[in-house]
Amino acid sequence: MSADVVPLRPKGGPPSLDPMLSLTASGMNSVNAVILERMQSKIPLIPALAGHLISGGGKRLRPMLTIAGAELCGYEGSRHHKLAAAVEFIHTATLLHDDVVDGSELRRGKEAANIVFGNPATVLVGDFLFSRAFELMVEDGSLKVLKILSSASAVIAEGEVDQLVAQREIETSEERYLSIIGAKTAALFAAATRIAAVVAERSEAEERALDEYGRNLGIAFQLVDDAIDYDSEAAESGKGRGDDFREGKMTLPVILAYARGTPDERKFWEDAIAGFCTEDEDLARAVELINRHDAVSATRERARHFAQRAIDAIAGFPAGAARSAMAQAAEFAVARRY
Amino acid sequence: MSADVVPLRPKGGPPSLDPMLSLTASGMNSVNAVILERMQSKIPLIPALAGHLISGGGKRLRPMLTIAGAELCGYEGSRHHKLAAAVEFIHTATLLHDDVVDGSELRRGKEAANIVFGNPATVLVGDFLFSRAFELMVEDGSLKVLKILSSASAVIAEGEVDQLVAQREIETSEERYLSIIGAKTAALFAAATRIAAVVAERSEAEERALDEYGRNLGIAFQLVDDAIDYDSEAAESGKGRGDDFREGKMTLPVILAYARGTPDERKFWEDAIAGFCTEDEDLARAVELINRHDAVSATRERARHFAQRAIDAIAGFPAGAARSAMAQAAEFAVARRY
C-alpha cells in the first residue's frame, strides 16, 4: 500500500484525477524510467520518433491503471513497473499506427509523428515499440500476463479494423459502436488493470473485478472522448476538434443525433458521414444538431453508466486510498472537458 | 524423423528446393492448417486481406525452416506447427507493413494488399497478425521461444527503420548493408530455425548451430533477392523488376557498381539514388553498369560465402535426409533466378 497521503475530494467539488496522480506518482516515476530506457535503439530515428509522441504530454493513464491496481491489491514488489511500461508501449504503437491510418495532423496538441517523420518511419517505429513491449513481458516471465496482453493486442487490432469498416457507414448502430470501442480502447484498459491482480497473485475473482473496472472505465473514457469532439462548451481537445466528423467516424453523438433527427437532418448526416460536407460550416451545423438533440449530454450519460459499473466492480476491495482514487478517476473520466 | 523419401540431387544437376519441400511436406500441411484457422476473425476484412497475401503463393520458407530444423533434431512432437505458423504470421505482418512503407504495387506477382485494400487496413491487419503470432507462442508456453521471437521482431523493426534511413544515401557501405539485411531478413530466418532446437530440447550449442544456419541462409537469400532485382538474365521476380532502383535502396549490386565505377558512372549513381533518374532508360543504364562491373555475379559470390557458412554450421548434426535437404536449400538460395 502507498504511504502517500491522497488528497480528499472537496465535498461537492468536481471529481479530480489528483488522487490517482498522487497514488501512482512514485510508481509512475519508475515506469517512466523504464519507458525512457527501453525506447532506446542504436538507430537514432527510433528514440527520436518514439520520444516525439511519448514526451508529448500524454496522461499515461493505462500504465497508471496498472500501478493503481497493484496498490489496490496491496502489491509491494516492482514487477509491475516493466509491465506498465509494456502497456504504454502497446498504446503508443497503436497511436502511431492510428495516426497513419487516419492521416492525422495533430496529436496531443502538436504535429503528429506521421507529419514530422512520415508514414513509413511511423509505421515501423510502432512495430518496434510493439515488439519491445513483448520483450518486456517476456523478461517478466509471466505467461498469464503474456496471454492477457497478446490477446488484448489482437482484439485492439480487430477493433481498429472494425472501426475502419464502419467509417462513413451511417447505419452503424449503438451496439456496434460499443463493440468497436470495447475492442479498440477498453480491451487495453481492462488488460492494464487486470495484470496488476496477476502480479499480486490475487484470486481469479479479483482479476475479473479489476478487468471489469478497466473495461468499463475504458468505455466511459472513449465515450467522453467522442463527446468532446462535438462539445461546443469543452476546451480544445489535443486531438483537433471535429476530426471524427471530417473522417466520417460513426461515434455515439452522431448515432444519437441521426436516430433522433428529422428526415431533413438525417439527409444532412447521410451526406456528411459519406464525406460530402466537411467544411467548417458543416461542422457547425453538426454541432448545432447534436446540441439540439442533447446528443453530447446523452453520450456523457451513457459514460456515467459505465463509470458507475467500474466503481461497483471494485467495491469488494477494502476501502482506502487506492479504491477511492480509482473511483474518483472513473467519475473524472465522465466529467472531464478535455 | 520423417519417413518420407527425399529425392537425391542428380549428380552435377542444379541445386533444388525439392528435397526441402519433400522433407517438410507433411509438417507444412499441419502448419498451413494452423495458418488458415488462426488468420480468421469475426471481422471479415481481416481474413480477406490476410488471405490475399497468405494465399498469394509465397514459398513459406521461414516456417519450413522450423519444420526442417525439427527434423534435423529428430523431434517427433507437434508443438512446432503452431510456432512455425507464428513465424509466418510475423513475416506476413512485416510484408504488409513493408508494402505500405514502400508504396509497393506488386507483391508475389499480383497487386499488393495496400493497393487492393488501402494502406489503413493493411497496417491494421499487419498488427492483427503480429498479435496473433504472439498468441500462438503464448499458447505453446515456452518463454525461451517467446524471448527468441520477440527479440527477433524488435531487431527486424530496427533493420527496417535503418533501411529507411539509408534509402537514397549513396554513401551506404557494404558493412552497413550487411547489418541492415542481417536485421530485417536474417534475424527471422535465424529465429525460425533456432526455435526448432528449443522445442526439441537440444543443447545450447545445437541451438546456436541452427541459429547460425538460419542467419547465414537469410543473408544469402536477401543478397540473391537484391541481385535478382538487377539481373538481366533472371526471370521476372514477383516483386517487380527495378523496384529497389526506383526506391533508391542501397543494395549490394549498387554499392559494388558505385565503388567500382568511373567518376562519370558515380555521378549517375548519385543522381539515380537521390531519385533524379527513375525512368526505364535509367534502369537500363543501371543494369548495364552493374553488368559491366560484374556486380550481380559478385553479389551472388558473396551469397555463396554465406550459404557455405550455413551448410558448415549444421555439419555437426548427423548426416541424413534433413541435413542434406537443408544444405541443398542453401545452395539453391544462391543459384535461384526468381
Please state whether B246 falls in left (phi above 0), alpha (psi between -120 and 50) or beta. Answer: alpha
Q: Alpha-carbon distance B26 to A150, whole Å?
A: 29
Q: How far is CA A179 from the centre of its chain?
A: 15
pLDDT at B2: 42
Element (H, E) at A111: strand A110-111
pLDDT bracket for residue A4 (50, 70, 90):
very low
Q: Give the amino acid at A48.
A: A
Residues of A within 8 A of B143 (CB-CB) are: 138, 141, 143
Q: Grid coordinates in use for B243?
A: 523496384
pLDDT at B104: 80
Whether residue A13 is contained in a domain is answered as: no
pLDDT bracket for residue A71 (50, 70, 90):
very high
Taking CA atoms, what residue in A is nearest to B120? A101
Q: Do B161 and A124 touch (CB under 8 A)?
A: yes
Residues of B within 8 A of A248 (CB-CB) are: none
Q: Alpha-carbon distance A26 to B59, whole Å?
A: 51
DSSP class of residue B5 equals P
Residues of A within 8 A of B100 (CB-CB) are: 100, 119-120, 123
pLDDT at A236: 53
Residue A195's alpha-carbon distances to A69, A144, A189, B155, in angstroms, are 8, 8, 10, 27
Residues of B within 8 A of A93 (CB-CB) are: 127
Look at residue A44 and tell me whether its pLDDT is greater than 60. Answer: yes
Given B43, B97, B150, which is nearest A158 (Cβ)? B43
Q: Do B160 and A127 touch (CB under 8 A)?
A: yes
Whether residue B11 is contained in a domain is answered as: no
Interface test with B, best of A158, A179, A195, A247 (most B CBs within 10 A): A158
Whether residue B45 is contained in a domain is answered as: yes
User: What does residue B296 show for φ and ψ, rounded to 5 degrees?
Assistant: -70, -45
Whether residue A11 is contained in a domain is answered as: no
Q: Alpha-carbon distance A15 to B54, whole Å?
A: 50
Q: Are B2 and B322 in contact (CB under 8 A)?
A: yes
Whether residue A122 is contained in a domain is answered as: yes
pLDDT at A169: 94
Taking CA atoms, what residue in B is nearest to A40? B158
Whether residue B10 is contained in a domain is answered as: no
Taking CA atoms, what residue in B is nearest to A120? B101
CA distance A45 to chain B (A): 8
**Domain residue limits at A210:** 18-335
Please compute the mean of the pLDDT values over residues B134-151 and round it to a whole number: 98
Taking CA atoms, what residue in B is nearest to A164? B121
Please state whether A292 falls in left (phi above 0), alpha (psi between -120 and 50) or beta. Answer: alpha
Residues of A within 8 A of B168 (CB-CB) are: none
pLDDT at A1: 41
Q: Are B194 and B148 in contact (CB under 8 A)?
A: yes
Residue B196's alpha-carbon distances to A152, B7, B273, in angstroms, are 28, 23, 40
Residues of A within 8 A of B154 (CB-CB) are: 128, 131-132, 135
pLDDT tens-place string over residues A320-336: 999 999 999 999 999 98
A with B: how many residue pairs have Cβ under 8 Å apart? 136
Look at residue A242 and tell me whether its pLDDT is greater than 50. Answer: yes
DSSP string, A223-277: HHHHHHTT-TTSPPPTT-TTHHHHTT---HHHHHHHHH--HHHHHHHHHHHHTS-
pLDDT tens-place string over residues B94-137: 999 999 988 888 777 788 899 999 999 999 999 999 999 999 99
Residues of A within 8 A of B146 (CB-CB) are: 134, 138, 146
* Residue of higher predicted confidence among B13 and A177: A177
Angle at which helix A187-199 crosses helix A143-166, to 10 degrees, equals 170
pLDDT at A295: 96
pLDDT at B105: 82
Signed CA dihedral, A322, A324, A327, A333: sign only: negative
Interface of A with B (CB under 8 A): 41-43, 45-46, 93-94, 97, 100-102, 119-121, 123-125, 127-128, 130-132, 134-135, 137-138, 141, 143, 146-147, 150-151, 153-154, 156-158, 160-162, 164-165
Q: Alpha-carbon distance A72 to A24, whole Å?
A: 11
Given A42, A128, A150, which is nearest B131 (Cβ)? A150
pLDDT bracket for residue B277 (50, 70, 90):
confident
Residue A335's alpha-carbon distances to A223, A304, B83, B323, in angstroms, are 11, 9, 46, 66
Residues of B within 8 A of A157 (CB-CB) are: 124-125, 127-128, 131
A106: β partners: A111
Interface test with B, best of A150, A176, A180 (most B CBs within 10 A): A150
Q: Do B131 and A153 touch (CB under 8 A)?
A: yes
The percent of residues in chain B predicted with pLDDT above 70, rounded, is 94
Whether residue A58 is contained in a domain is answered as: yes
Given A43, A132, A150, which is nearest B138 (Cβ)? A150
pLDDT bracket for residue B57 (50, 70, 90):
confident
What CATH number does residue A94 fall under? 1.10.600.10
Please compute the mean of the pLDDT values over residues A218-243 and round it to a whole number: 79
CA distance B187 to chain A (A): 14
Across B18-168, the runs of DSSP E, i.e. the strands, are: 106-107, 110-111
Residues of B within 8 A of A42 (CB-CB) are: 158
Whether residue B215 is contained in a domain is answered as: yes
Given B123, B137, B165, which is nearest A100 (Cβ)? B123
pLDDT tens-place string over residues B39-56: 999 999 999 999 998 887
Please compute the mean of the pLDDT values over residues B9-20 and round it to a whole number: 82
B106: β partners: B111
Strand, helix or coil for residue A106: strand
Look at residue A5 and tell me whether its pLDDT is greater than 50. Answer: no
The ipTM, to two decimals, is 0.92
Residues of A within 8 A of B43 (CB-CB) are: 158, 161-162, 165
Point out the least confidently predicted range of A308-317, B10-19, B308-317: B10-19
Please compute the mean of the pLDDT values over residues A64-81 and round it to a whole number: 98
Q: How much is the mean pLDDT over chain A? A: 92
Element (H, E) at B236: none
Q: How much is the mean pLDDT over chain B? A: 92
In terms of DSSP bridges, do strands B106-107 and A106-107 run parallel, antiparallel, or are they unpaired?
unpaired
Q: Do B100 and A119 touch (CB under 8 A)?
A: yes
Domain count, chain A: 1
